[in-house]
Structure 1
Amino acid sequence: MSDVTLQNFEADVIEMSRQVPVLVDFWAPWCGPCRTLGPMLEKLEAESGGKWKLAKVNVDENQDLAAHFGVRSIPHVVAFADGEAVDQFVGVLPESGLREFLDRLTPNPGELALREARELAAAGDAEGARAAYQAALAFDPGADDARLAYVGFLLDHDAIDEAEAEFGLLSPRAPQEDGYAALQTRLEAAKNVGDLPDATALSAHVLTNPTDLAARLDLANVLIARREYEPALEQLLEIVRRDRGFGEDIGRKTMLSVFDLLAGRPDVVSRWRRQLSTALN
């Protein structure tokens, strides 16, 4: 537990919440309900073993902070995670209600392992990331978001057979997850690329046979498997321009999946969306 003022709010609440959730208890010495809620929160923080932190703001001494968060009645508790206010309640909850509130706020072990896996992958620790992904799925085998992230990681490291096996373990709800269609496209491209000519041969063929849309699609799939997404989009867009109905609109549908794969580059996606819109009109 820490006492927080305007001077240390950024460090003790905002920055700390990027590591673990922080509950900010707005209280005052004269507030009877505050004297009931405060000890309950302190007890639960001690029991949590560091899964979340408690910060207390005396509203009499920190009126600017109270006003900033719209505190009109106390006790007023605001929960922070990843640098943002994410939940709150006013008044005194029973201990069971507090535990439910905290359960919504604190990540389960699977979520913590998934976060670690992503951080290790970003840092280039492939072995550590693989172990963390596997741990996340061991905690919660039904976590489609974790399995999709693991599939993407395996594809990044050319572990195609493993990626296909993991993709097959997704639940029937998985198609509703963000990125599902994009990963499916990428996996299919990676699986099929071994049976196709290389990109150089396909490019030469398309250059001399511009109406061979099947070859253009093959080339696009090779480029997707190599994560050369913009050249792939060039081929897919040409398919749309030449024959919208080819392969049951496969050109446009695959472009949409590639847009998802390029989600981290919104400027690129925006440019290609405009070109696709022009081709469809």
Structure 2
Amino acid sequence: MAIDVTDATFQTDVVERSTAVAIVVDLWATWCGPCQTLTPILEKVVAETNGKVELVKVDIDQNPAIAQAFRVQSIPMVVAFKDGQPVDAFMGAQGEHEVRAFIDKLLPTEEENRIEALIQAGDELSLRQALELEPGNEDAIVGLADQLVEAGQPEEALALLERIPATDRTRVVAAKARVGVTPDDDHDATLTALLDQVKTDDEARQQFVDILELMGPDDPRTATYRKQLTARLF
């Protein structure tokens, strides 16, 4: 079943969501006859993918910002998103055969399914096999790096994390690798001692930042210590 997307929710429901699953955007309007014909076909074909592709609908009259972004001149217009980017599109009513061909191009390949199965298995051997197939897969890298840290191999974990750009997930694992502590540790004494060193000692400053990463934004102490760090540095 398609969900309705608005100007306010497009970033979350389409752009960000498409990093996990292919999204098909159906741009339509209530007065558009061909739209009424196309939408049921889209719903049927997308439903047959069993969640591997998702369908969203955008009423262009109610959401002018989206219509302007796509420079919509004629509807129905259908745009496919993967990995946060539009990857394919068509305009005008299409038959089921044409729609199915369009959707089929968005489905995971056999290799992608294999990689996903290995990541879901989650053991070290499976994650290493996943990385042989896709060396830059973030899920496999983060999962394997975390296991390496737990196994006492922080240097290999850090080398692995260098393959991909830093994200919130990679920073936490990297912090664990460098500091060797868990998010449950009591960090107050360590952070207080490090504050006197952060301005002149690069290693102390990195350790301070790493501990804050492990504490996470939900810990009320994190914001306080970040302010103290800024005050000491500047």
Q: TM-score range by the shorter chain?
A: 0.5 to 0.7
Is the 1:116–1:129 contact (alpha carbons within 8 Å) kept by the matching residues of 2? no
State the one-letter code of the partner of 2:79: V
Bigger relative CO (Cα 8 Å, ≥ 6 apart)? 2
Counterpart Cα distance in 2 of 1:100 and 1:48: 12
Is the 2:45–2:103 contact (alpha carbons within 8 Å) kept by the matching residues of 1? no
1:29 aligned partner: 30
Is the 1:74–1:90 contact (alpha carbons within 8 Å) kept by the matching residues of 2? yes
1:63 aligned partner: 64
Taking a change above 3 Å as real, the CA distance of residues 70 and 115 of structure 1, as seen in their structure-2 partners, is: farther
2:104 aligned partner: 103
What whole-Å deviation, never above 9, does each CA across 1:147-174 have from its counterpart, x for those lacking one? x85xxx9xxxxxxxxxxxxxxxxxxxxx
State the one-letter code of the partner of 2:101: E
Deviation at 1:112, TM superposition (A): 2.6
| Larger Rg computed on CA atoms | 1
What whole-Å deviation, never above 9, does each CA across 1:55-87 have from its counterpart, x for those lacking one? 000011011110111111000001000111111
Deviation at 1:264, TM superposition (A): 6.4
What whole-Å deviation, never above 9, does each CA across 1:188-246 have from its counterpart, x for those lacking one? xxxxxxxxxxxxxxxxxxxxxxxxxxxxxxxxxxxxxx9xxxxxxxxxxxxxxxxxxxx
Q: Which ranges of structure 1 fall in alignment gaps of 5 or more residues?
A: 134-144, 154-225, 227-261, 266-281
Deviation at 1:16, TM superposition (A): 1.3
Counterpart Cα distance in 2 of 1:38 and 1:21: 17
1:129 aligned partner: 127
What whole-Å deviation, never above 9, does each CA across 1:233-264 have from its counterpart, x for those lacking one? xxxxxxxxxxxxxxxxxxxxxxxxxxxxx986
Q: Which SS does the other structure have where 2:80 is aligned?
A: strand
State the one-letter code of the partner of 2:110: P
Deviation at 1:15, TM superposition (A): 1.6
Is the 1:120–1:126 contact (alpha carbons within 8 Å) kept by the matching residues of 2? no
Counterpart Cα distance in 2 of 1:11 and 1:31: 26
Residue 12 of structure 2 corresponds to residue 14 of structure 1: no
Deviation at 1:108, TM superposition (A): 2.2
TM-score normalised by the chain length of structure 1: 0.45
Counterpart Cα distance in 2 of 1:99 and 1:25: 15
Identity, % of aligned positions = 43
Counterpart Cα distance in 2 of 1:51 and 1:264: 25
Residue 88 of structure 2 corresponds to residue 87 of structure 1: yes
Deviation at 1:114, TM superposition (A): 2.5
Q: How many residues align?
A: 142
Counterpart Cα distance in 2 of 1:58 and 1:21: 20
Counterpart Cα distance in 1 of 2:32 and 2:164: 48
What whole-Å deviation, never above 9, does each CA across 1:18-64 have from its counterpart, x for those lacking one? 11100000000110110110000111122111010000000110111
Q: Which SS does the other structure have where 1:73 is aligned?
A: coil
Taking a change above 3 Å as real, the CA distance of residues 50 and 61 of structure 1, as seen in their structure-2 partners, is: same
Counterpart Cα distance in 2 of 1:115 and 1:72: 39
Is the 1:2–1:55 contact (alpha carbons within 8 Å) kept by the matching residues of 2? yes
Q: Which ranges of structure 2 fall in alignment gaps of 5 or more residues?
A: 141-155, 157-161, 166-234
